[in-house]
Structure 1
């Protein structure tokens, strides 16, 4: 048994990729897991950008741990080949999803002692020139999580962002590997979905949260504010 056993965990985007890694790790630890995704057979099916859905799920499930992983796969290609529609995909998906669920967490609100972990991307630190507005959108996700965290501190709710890099065997990871011609051998030591899931549960068990963490092969490394 662990500190998460018997607790309520909501994973937004938990039907695949890193979100599935978190959901599986939480189930294995004995948590009561609710997955929110467009396609799911054992969770809440719906659009993660839906404000009413976010408010309802949080009010009904009262999560001790809310993990927001959902987002769009960016359109890949050089800037000259992008349209505003393809460039802005992640602004309309990833940023909006973070905004909707963070806002709901503050307005419901979640109970004191609860924790919120939002997935950003290491691309926000070094750019992603073939991914349209992806890096900028993920930087904004980190910013608005910090804004929400400042408001949430008075409610006793802890919030943080984690920033994974290219992760093979995930949808976005495979698209990025193909676009950038990444060396799979060089990626053999990067975190897996399973290890990221375990790391997120470690945050839930820890005494406090940093503002953001970079996901590395050795686990999570706190980033300076």
Structure 2
């Protein structure tokens, strides 16, 4: 299965995401922000970094990249799409996910190993986890506070769209400790922590992040 990883000007974690796809057993395909097609991929990852220098707002310019026209259309068609950190911001700016990400409430950049609780295992990116499972993956952001109005928060909570939640500490002021969410269909997932940095024991806190990438492959195989 081919999983595309988009590189925007300012992406930092695209190569890490490609490696995570490869370790999970998939075939990573490099996509460029100026591409007008998705090169036949079966899923897409929007990686972390500082796309277009985070000018205006994080992800606000990236949403207009040519490749995002294709990603948005593919997502509406059911293709699995994962946004990590800056990728999560891009998904919100593109209106594929509700809410927004704002500056951390303590106004400083944070980098730490973060414990998350898996809240929803019915998405294309979380089926290999158990509901309530706690995983540890790195977190690194300056604008990672998830916000939405009360009605939106109540809706995504009520409809099971919260996918990951911070459990040991809320590192950035995200409302209701939300670390990651999904769309109603369950094929689009965004999270602020970095699962691609937790796929090998040698280079991370463990392999807890690998499940997102193996879940996508499992989901794709089930559809084929």
What TM-score bracket applies, with the shorter chain setting the length? 0.3 to 0.5
Higher strand share: 2
TM-score normalized with structure 2 length: 0.42
**Larger Cα-atom Rg:** 1
Higher helix share: 1
TM-score normalized with structure 1 length: 0.42
